[in-house]
Amino acid sequence: MAVGLAEHDKEAWGRLPFSLTIADISQDDEPLIYVNRAFEQMTGYSRSSVVGRNCRFLQGEKTDPGAVERLAKAIRNCEEVEETIYNYRADGEGFWNHLLMGPLEDQDEKCRYFVGIQVDMGQSESPDRATELDRQLAEVQHRVKNHLAMIVSMIRIQSSQAGGVGSQFDSLSRRVEALQLLYQEMDIAGAAKATDKIIPLGAYLGRIASAINHIDGRGAIKVNVQADTVDVPVETAGRIGLLVSEVLTNALQHAFSDRASGVVQLRSSVMSGEQLRVTVEDDGRGIPEDCDWPNEGNLGSRIVRQLVQGLGAELNVTRGGTGTIVNIDIPLSQQKTLIADERTKD
């Protein structure tokens, strides 16, 4: 049984810089029901050869039974777990697999699925003695873990409202795309080390706007970006990027439902009082008077509220003569402290 993902969802998962799997633990022997391209590349196994099988085919002679039991216990208890385990590729080559697993509940709030995210840590004989592996693990923990937790959280929210993990992933791929663009921006900014965790926000938001506009596919609707120069911690950038993705998508989906052309303005500017203002303004039909977005509405509204709260930000919606203006005010004082702390570590 394969997860019913749309083609663009499969592409978004496939572009992730780490392997992703989904297993259905309600079925006998807890088979995999989805793996992405990164999994195929990392393990050498094709999707068709592993879907429907328990992932124990990755285990072998040097796999620690204790690690296997810890993973099994987490699945039995429906708990998140992180483990580094020795696995084997299809050609028999061994490698250390840094694994993060998280449970997903179905619509009846029963633990049914487990998402696994894997990072290839190389072939060093012992993770306890290998300096290079320790360095890589530190990078995984700093650069990946928190974002993977966000992905697991989003999948959990999506699956709980969609009636199952395989039913509706249309919006989820866009959210994953925002995180993938963050990894690309980190590479461009030279954030190759765990300590280099500062990126230019404007460039990242520009990439998100371009991606969202491309996904929308209506060439007559333009998204213009104007951004002040400001550096923010990677974790903050990830949250802001997801938030902008939600607000932009909402504008593109609803502001121009009655016409084929329009303009959306995305601006980020540093205000007085150590505050960053991100604005999304459209010249569309405007939000209906009886709609209290984002305080009520669908999954996207819920994610917006959670991200605003996590940033300690304020979101205000203004209905203009034409269109809608969304202002998000984010305190910069805390972000500057985080930046100073990160640069002190270098």
**CATH code: domain of residue 128:** 3.30.450.20
pLDDT at 31 over 50: yes
- Structural domain range at position 63: 7-170
Highest mean pLDDT of the ranges 157-161, 163-167, 311-315: 311-315
Say yes or no: 163 and 24 in one domain: yes
Buried b (16+ CB within 10 A) or exposed e, 312-342: ebebebeeeeebbebbbbbebeebeebbeeb
pLDDT at 298: 63
Shared domain for 159 and 53, answered yes or no, is yes
Residues 165 and 212 in one domain: no
pLDDT, position 327:
96
| 2 in any annotated domain | no
Residue 161 pLDDT > 90, yes or no?
Answer: no
Over range 251-256, report the average pLDDT.
Answer: 84
Average pLDDT over residues 83-99: 91
Q: What SS3 state is found at 154?
A: helix
User: Does 72 lie in the same domain as 24?
Assistant: yes
Report how far residue 116's alpha carbon sits from residue 136's, in angstroms, rounded to the nearest whole number.
19
- CA-atom Rg of the chain in angstroms: 21
28: pLDDT strictly greater than 70 = yes
pLDDT at 332 over 90: no
* Whether the Cβ atoms of residue 275 and residue 332 lie closer than 8 Å to each other: yes
Per-residue tokens: 222: 């333009």
Mean pLDDT is lowest, of 12-16, 19-23, 111-115, 132-136, for 132-136
The span from the CA of 204 to the CA of 36, in Å, is 25
pLDDT of residue 218: 80
More confident residue, 211 or 166: 211
Strands 262-271 and 221-227: parallel
pLDDT at 48 over 80: yes
Predicted confidence band of residue 272 (pLDDT cuts 50, 70, 90): confident
For residue 3, is pLDDT > 80?
A: no
CA distance 287 to 293: 8
Contacts 24+ apart (CB under 8 A), 5-8: 5/34, 5/166, 5/169, 5/173, 6/169, 6/170, 6/173, 8/173, 8/215
Is residue 180 assigned to a domain?
no
Amino acid identity at 54? N
Which value, to the nearest 10 degrees, does the dihedral of the CA atoms of residues 81, 156, 210, 285 take? -160
For the ranges 117-121, 190-194, 252-256, 286-290, which has the lowest average pLDDT? 190-194
pLDDT digits over 93-138, tens only?
999 888 878 787 665 667 888 888 887 777 755 544 444 444 544 5
286 has a pLDDT exceeding 70: yes
pLDDT in tens, 193-244: 444 568 889 999 998 898 888 877 787 889 999 999 888 887 788 889 889 9
**Mean per-residue pLDDT over the chain, rounded:** 76
> Which one has a higher pLDDT value, 102 or 159?
102
Sign of the torsion angle spanned by Cα atoms 134, 68, 95, 118: negative
pLDDT of residue 68: 96
Q: Which of 170, 186, 218 is the last residue of a domain?
A: 170
Does residue 314 lie within any of the structural domains?
yes
Which two three-digit tokens encode residue 273?
């009082």
Say whether both 162 and 20 belong to one domain: yes
Residue 53 pLDDT grade (very low, low, confident, very high; cuts 50, 70, 90) = very high
Q: Where are the beta strands (DSSP E) in the chain?
A: 19-24, 32-35, 81-88, 94-105, 111-120, 198-200, 221-227, 231-233, 262-271, 275-282, 314-319, 324-331
**Average of pLDDT values for 243-258?**
86
Tokens of 248: 């932009």
The torsion region of residue 13 among left (phi > 0), alpha (psi -120 to 50) and beta comes to alpha
310 pLDDT exceeds 80?
yes
- Residue 297 domain-assigned (yes or no): yes
- The answer on pLDDT for 304 being more than 60 is yes
- Band (pLDDT 50/70/90 cuts) for residue 167 is very low
Whichever domain contains 277, its CATH number is 3.30.565.10
Give every strand in the sheet of 221-227, ordered side by side: 221-227, 262-271, 275-282, 324-331, 314-319
Q: Kindly tell me the burial class for residue 236, based on how many C-beta atoms sit within 10 Å of its own C-beta (0-12, 13-18, 19 or more).
A: buried
Last residue of a domain, one of 124, 155, 170: 170
Domains in the chain, number:
2
Mean pLDDT of 44-73: 95
Measured distance CA(191)–CA(147) in Å, rounded: 15
